[in-house]
Amino acid sequence: MPQVELIPAACNQQPILANLLELYIHDFSEFHPVHLDGTGRFGYPQLPLYWIEPDRHPFLTYVDTKIAGFALVKAIPEPTNHTSVWDMAEFFVLRTYRRQGIGAQAAHQVFRRFPGPWCIRVMHANRNAIAFWSRAIAAFTSLPVSPVILMSDQVAWWHFHFESKSNSNR
């Protein structure tokens, strides 16, 4: 099994994340219309916030010392009980590394870093991501996964809610 490492991204690695986000958004364009800007890039305007706002956390994923993907995590307010929930804002694994358990290992490392309630949102049209998150979350929690569908801007999203207890999870 390859060694998977999740490393906090330093500010000087922002260009690496920006490049990876271009690949991620290109993949995402299969499910949602996105358009290139005048320079031929999709862009991700929120990226600089991950080094400014304390509730945002950027990570790079490495496999055997090679860049394999990223995770962008943020805390979002939970309106029902006035607390916050961890949100996997964006998560990406390069196609070369998919279907090898690498994404699940990286996701589990993220969950262990941030104990507490989590919400993973997946566009209904993205069937592969729904299957991935169902498996990854069930393996992490050792519990059945029961996502709910919610509409946002006329788009259906699966919401996976679960709890990361601490470093004691798998």
Q: Are 92 and 58 in contact, with CB atoms under 8 Å apart? A: no
Q: Is the pLDDT of residue 48 over 50?
A: yes
Q: Which two tokens stand for residue 23?
A: 């690949």
For the residues 92-104, what does the mean pLDDT come to? 92
- What does the DSSP 8-state code read for residue 44? -
Banded pLDDT at 166 (limits 50, 70, 90): low
Residue 111's Cβ-count burial label (10 Å; 0-12, 13-18, 19+) is buried
In the Cβ-directed half-sphere of 61, how many Cα atoms lie within 13 Å? 27
Compute the CA torsion angle 27, 23, 146, 134 (nearest 10 deg): 100
The residue ranges of every structural domain in the chain are 4-164
64 torsion bin: left (phi>0), alpha (psi -120 to 50), beta (else)? left
What the block records as the tokens of 33 is 């219309």
Q: In this predicted model, what pLDDT tens digit does every residue of 57-93 receive, in sequence order?
A: 999 999 999 999 999 999 998 767 778 899 999 999 9
pTM: 0.90
- What CATH code would you report for 4-164? 3.40.630.30
pLDDT value, residue 167: 59
For residues 110 and 120, is the Cβ–Cβ distance under 8 A? no
Q: What is the pLDDT of residue 36?
A: 80
Q: Which two three-digit tokens encode residue 4?
A: 């998977």
For residue 147, is pLDDT > 90?
no
